[in-house]
Structure 1
């Protein structure tokens, strides 16, 4: 098993420990880059303490050279941020400074996270195909759906699955809403990463979607993730929608209210990225404590709730050929009508030793199909821009995103963000040289 040295790593370690009887991980390699050397040391020491406390024989290794770690890996998880949190701050602050949503996976910010990330992920994927070609690449790196599709289209190995904690958070949230155990709840998920809808909700196999919709419309649903403001939905909208939105839909369906909150935070120097930077610093201070040998509860404030359950249940199900149902980002293969078969979608799948098998959804409800199609077009254009470094393609991608107001504003944002992230965009070398 190959993982990384991020602040989320204790979530994964906890998940592997809990499942050790079914998923007997022998070696866990934590990999980072030179800039993350100190964090890698801190988080690996915590991981070793957690394993020792649990009494499981998992050997933990660290390296700054992924090629040292890859040979023999069965699973490779990727969670990285090109440019670190300072890049996220730019992704958020630059759009907000122009009166637009600034968010790390949506709108202009999400586009530039994709442009920086996709070439790096493809390099990692190339090494995987050379050094451990049978390994599954489990990608947590945002924008997860876009990254997954880039690997499916341009990767050296196609054994990739994108993963997000939002669907499992929705399952947990609805279980809490109904005051029942999470295992009794199942949702038919369909859409894209951070653009996924719950089409049907089942309790003990009985369809209770209407009941859940009415409870959400009545404002009874608590926050699902800590990193998105839980502004209450308009009752009439939820009843008319008749499916379950994810928290990220607020950036599209409640754009004015979300922008108002972001502008307030921006004025105080409190964008989400800046909050996260402080949270990460505090977390790593906690991780340094030689007496700490559990995942600290403060990690949930980072936005990482349920990552261990999502990631480890997926790996466990592949390893043990469980054939259970889980929502993941994978190749559409006709599951959702109207989306290309070779595009990535976030959809409920049967998880087997050969990977995820998407469940047939057919036509999406008309009330959500248009937005999903628009975002898929945006994702495709961002991927093409990330691969080619073509300015015009990037301009189209920026303009067609529903969180960008016009081609004039798209050009302003594109030019500012290109300059801000110049050192992390080598594919755009020709553009910068021609300036």
Structure 2
């Protein structure tokens, strides 16, 4: 049986240990001969790599492990590139969140001005990875879950149209797990869904169990009362950050706008932006929460493992819901025809929508990659919202490609989250100042 070679780009990410543990947990389904880490920040990656090397040696010593900052070493002889890079790290995420809040506008890492700023940083980094992969392992597939996935997906569609890239997001996976629990199922794998939208901007239209029974009425009843919060969390919420608890509960209000469907949680930023600003602390945003929480914990624990020389008693957790990445890799490697929600060129999947939009819809995945399933025509409300949002994403990519200040200003002005063109320009000028090191020169 073939064993696979994987490179994880973003080796210094706080998510990397969880991904490695998840891969080790799935070796029977997806055998691996080699795991490589690639990052352009050597010292940061080394801390994660030293711990992961020990974990791999203890759990699967037959796997060859390499951590490198050299593209050739990283990208030669690989079957899959799993990419989750964050250009500018959490320091820039903090700017993405705090600058808009200064103007009373939502500060969020993938939505509105913050997402646009992050997108302008990410495009170049992701394209560089694609080019390395194609140069050194032209038969490999890139499984990209670098954010903001919608802007990155549009950039790869437009600027690398023939590349073997699949753009994925774990947010629907996380929400579906909550839906499954709310109706007493063990796993989202016991559900078959229909869904359409853009990344972080979509709606479920049909959810059935494996026998074909309609689960929508029961899930809607739960969401109408509690949003996507679960009973045990409502009583005891220490395991979930406060900001996520608020997000899951807020889905109740988002659902009320269109009770025919079930919404992605991120729609709260577009439909209730003032509520989000009122709820935010401009001095201490989600980036600060992550730096003080997960980042501190993961790096601290990795350094402890490296010093101890063993992973015994470690508190690093398997990224369970990242197992969809293995499902995707397996679908390509073994032609399994798994049904998955992916971000793909529309090309008729949503009949009454822009053919060139990168949409998130269920796909059947095999050796040729994803085949989108047609979702038919969508209602005017969703169509209007999506047309506005897809235009924002396209303008950002055009601004990056052309170095156009004007188009980036237009993108910000068009975002539902930004109240008017004057505020859009003020935010843009501040973001431009903060991102000099990372954005292309705009004129």
TM-score, length-scaled by structure 2 = 0.89
Q: Distance in 2 between matches of 1:30 and 1:157?
A: 25
In 2: Cα distance, 1:96 partner to 1:172 partner = 31
Instruction: Please say which of residues 68-77 and 329-338 is displaced more in the overlay.
Output: 329-338
Partners of 1:240 and 1:338 in 2: CA distance: 19
The equivalent position to 1:287 in structure 2, one of 289, 292, 302, is: 302
Distance 2:314 2:387 in 1: 40
- Provide the C-alpha distance between the structure 1 equivalents of 2:128 and 2:375, rounded to a whole number of angstroms: 33
Aligned-residue offset at 1:196? 2.0
Q: TM-score, normalised by structure 1?
A: 0.90
User: Does 1:149 find its partner at 2:163?
Assistant: no
1-structure distance, mates of 2:198, 2:312: 33
SS in structure 1 opposite 2:344? strand
The alpha-carbon distance between structure 1 residues 261 and 295, as it changes in their structure 2 partners (threshold 3 A), is farther
Match of 2:24 in 1: 17
Q: Secondary structure at the match of 2:174?
A: helix
Q: Counterparts of 1:328 and 1:294 in 2: how far apart (Å)?
A: 37
* Pairwise CA distance, 1:144: 0.8
- Structure 1: how far apart are the matches of 2:320 and 2:379? 28
Equivalent residue number for residue 228 of structure 2? 221
Q: Cα offset for 1:294?
A: 7.9
Instruction: Please give the residue correspondences for 1:254-273 in structure 2 after superposition, counting only pairs within 5 Å.
Output: 254-262=272-280, 265-266=281-282, 269-273=283-287
Q: Which residue pairs with 2:264 in the alignment?
A: 246
What residue number does 2:371 align with?
A: 357
Distance verdict in 2 for CA 1:237–1:180, change over 3 Å = closer
From the superposition, tell whether residues 343 and 57 of structure 1 become closer, same or farther in structure 2 (CA, over 3 Å): farther
C-alpha distance in 2 between matches for 1:296 and 1:145: 35
Report the equivalent of 2:168. 163
Pick closer, same or farther for the CA change 1:20–1:277 going to 2, 3 Å: same
Following the alignment from structure 2 to structure 1, what is the Cα–Cα distance between the partners of residues 290 and 356? 34
**1:321–1:352: 8 Å Cα contact kept in structure 2?**
yes
Q: Over aligned residue pairs, what C-alpha RMSD do you find?
A: 2.2
Indicate the larger mover: 115-124 or 223-232: 223-232
1:63 counterpart residue number: 68
**Residue 196 (str. 1) matches residue 202 (str. 2):** yes
Q: Deviations over 1:271-304 (max 9, x none)?
A: 111111222123200122225638966669xxxx
Which secondary structure state, in structure 2, belongs to the residue aligned with residue 241 of structure 1?
coil
Which secondary structure state, in structure 1, belongs to the residue aligned with residue 262 of structure 2?
Answer: coil
State the distance in 2 between where 1:189 and 1:413 align: 33
In the aligned structure 1, how far is the partner of 2:190 from the partner of 2:422? 50
Sort the Cα spacing of 1:281 and 1:145 in 2 relative to 1 into closer, same or farther, 3 A. Answer: same
Q: 2:175, 2:228 within 8 Å by CA — same for their partners in 1?
A: no
- Which of 94, 98, 104 aligns to 1:99? It is 104
Unaligned runs of 5+ in 1: none
8 Å CA contact 2:327, 2:338 repeated in 1: no
Partner residue in 2 for 1:82: 87
Structure 2 counterparts to residues 32-71 of structure 1, below 5 A:
32-33=39-40, 36-55=41-60, 57-71=62-76
User: Residues 271 and 295 (structure 1 numbering): CA distance in 2 closer, same or farther, change over 3 Å?
Assistant: farther
Does residue 310 of structure 1 match 2:329?
A: no
- Tell me if structure 1 keeps the 8 A contact 2:96–2:118: yes
Number of residue pairs matched by the alignment: 419
- Is 1:88–1:104's contact at 8 Å kept on the other side of the alignment? yes
Give 1:395's aligned residue: 409
Q: Identify the range of structure 1 (347-356 vs 152-161) with the bigger mean alpha-carbon deviation.
A: 152-161
1:12 touches 1:312 (CA, 8 Å); kept in 2? no
How far apart, in 2, do the equivalents of 1:260 and 1:296 lie?
Answer: 38
Secondary structure class of the residue paired with 2:266 = helix
Indicate the SS of the match to 2:250. Answer: coil
The alpha-carbon distance between structure 1 residues 317 and 236, as it changes in their structure 2 partners (threshold 3 A), is closer
